[in-house]
Amino acid sequence: MGDEQADRDERQDGALTDLLVRAADGVDAAWVELVERYSRRLFALARSRLGSVDLAEEIVQSVLVTVATTLTAGKYTESGRFESWLFRVAMNRIRDEIRKKRRSTVETNEHLPDLAAHHDEPTDEAGLSALRAALDELSDADRQVIELRHHGQLSFKEIAAVTCEPMGTLLARHHRALRKLRSIIETNLSDQEIERTT
Amino acid sequence: MTQDIRQPEPDAISDRLDQLADRERAMPDSAFESRVFESVRARVLEPLGRPVAIRPAWWRSSWAMAAAASIAIVLTAGMFMWAGAPTQTSDPGPSIAAGDDVSTEFEEFIETVAWLEDSLPDYSWTTNSTDGPSLDSIDDLFDDVEQTLSDEEESI
């Protein structure tokens, strides 16, 4: 099983390398494929963290433009670690956006809606809403590992490459973050129950 | 995901997170990818002016290559014809005749040189001390040869 997985990974890596070579040559078809592979994963990551659909799309465009500029200029040096690099670029861009918003909040001294809590589309499923709200209460580090894992669909190995942290630490953090989420959701539900009864 | 490493975790929360993430990924409309790609193309690929798949380079078209090859052949043939043509194209007859005269005189000149060469006595066995006086006639012979060559050259 392990060998099969390794072979599959190797084939995927080879295909990705070919794709990146064509993308670096500026071939449209290669960029169409890269966009199809990654844009929605990047979008989900940005949307979950920033809450805004428009901002998330803007970030996806910005990240892929950065990637295209680097690749076509021959400055891509992360051979074999493309996904980690791509998501690191995305995380940096998302952090920049969060900092910008925080500065804006301080300068205007106005209360902006919580970036993480603001969502464009209310979901009709209470469970998912509760989960979104619970995500907002996680620490940045916990939230990052959850979002890279579930929204970005990265393996723990890739998350380790993105965050430059040991995989064991990330596995433990992910497990702890899931427990925290469950705890937060249960607490919120019981609070709501109390409010309803009073 | 290239590697699926999962440890025991609150499965329900994990499944709900996956469900939530699926929703986030499905959120953009169907034109989302096109917009992202257009952004990349407009901001990076087009300014580079690199060859793209939709508009392949002209030399990748067999029709363009055939046309270019035909033009090259015609131009090459034209150049050869132009280089080989006489300078006075208006009246080629006299030029050809003049060309024939020159070649005839040149052949005569070559024959004369060959005759002079055959007429020279063989002095290879002589020495300056013993046969010096007999070499006086060579001066006359060389004078004749020089005069003959000069005449032939002038006639050419």
* Nearest alpha-carbon partner for A131 in A182, A172, A175: A182
Average pLDDT, chain A: 84
- State whether residue B137 is helix, strand or coil: helix
Distance of alpha carbon A15 from alpha carbon A12, whole angstroms: 5
- How many CB pairs (< 8 A) connect A and B? 141
Long-range contacts of A137-144 (CB under 8 A, 24+ apart): A137/A180, A137/A184, A138/A177, A138/A180, A138/A181, A138/A184, A141/A173, A142/A173, A142/A176, A142/A177, A142/A180, A143/A49, A143/A116, A143/A177, A144/A91
Show the tokens assigned to A101: 């918003």
pLDDT, greater one: A119 or B69: B69
Distance of alpha carbon A83 from alpha carbon A79, whole angstroms: 10
Among the partner-chain residues A40, A153, A154, the one whose CB lies closest to the CB of B28 is: A40
Average pLDDT, chain B: 73
> Is B2 within 8 Å of A29 when comparing Cβ atoms?
no
A53 touches chain B (CB under 8 A): yes
Question: Residue A156: what pLDDT?
Answer: 94
| A1-43 pLDDT tens trace | 456 666 666 667 778 888 999 999 999 999 999 999 999 999 9
Among the partner-chain residues A28, A83, A156, the one whose CB lies closest to the CB of B45 is: A28
| B75-92 pLDDT tens trace | 988 888 888 766 555 555
Q: pLDDT grade, residue A121 (50/70/90)?
A: very low
Contacts of B25 in chain A (CB under 8 A): 40-41, 43-44, 151
Q: What are phi and psi of A111, to 5 degrees?
A: -90, 110
Site from A31, A49, A93, A154 to mutate, B interface, most B CB atoms within 10 angstroms: A31
Show the tokens assigned to B156: 């050419």
Show the tokens assigned to A104: 């804006």
Mean pLDDT along residues A69-94:
89
Burial zone of B152 (CB within 10 Å; 0-12 exposed, 13-18 middle, 19+ buried):
middle
CA distance A105 to chain B (A): 26
Among the partner-chain residues A39, A40, A158, the one whose CB lies closest to the CB of B2 is: A158
Question: Residue A123: what pLDDT?
Answer: 45
Question: Residue B88: what pLDDT?
Answer: 52
> Is B5 within 8 Å of A28 when comparing Cβ atoms?
no
For residue A140, pLDDT beyond 70: yes
DSSP string computed for A42-87: HHHHHHHHH--HHHHHHHHHHHHHHHHHHHHTT----TT-HHHHHH
For residue A162, pLDDT beyond 60: yes
Distance of alpha carbon A28 from alpha carbon B85, whole angstroms: 52
| B91-116 pLDDT tens trace | 554 555 555 666 777 788 788 777 77
For residue A117, pLDDT beyond 70: no
Q: Rounding to the nearest 10 degrees, give the CA dihedral for residues A116, A161, A77, A81.
A: -100
For residue B136, pLDDT beyond 90: no
pTM of the model: 0.60
For residue A49, pLDDT beyond 80: yes
For residue B122, pLDDT beyond 80: no
Contacts of A46 in chain B (CB under 8 A): none
Lowest mean pLDDT among A16-30, A101-115, B110-124, B140-154: A101-115
CA distance A139 to chain B (A): 16
pLDDT, greater one: A146 or B124: A146
Max mean pLDDT among B2-16, B53-67, B136-150 falls in: B136-150
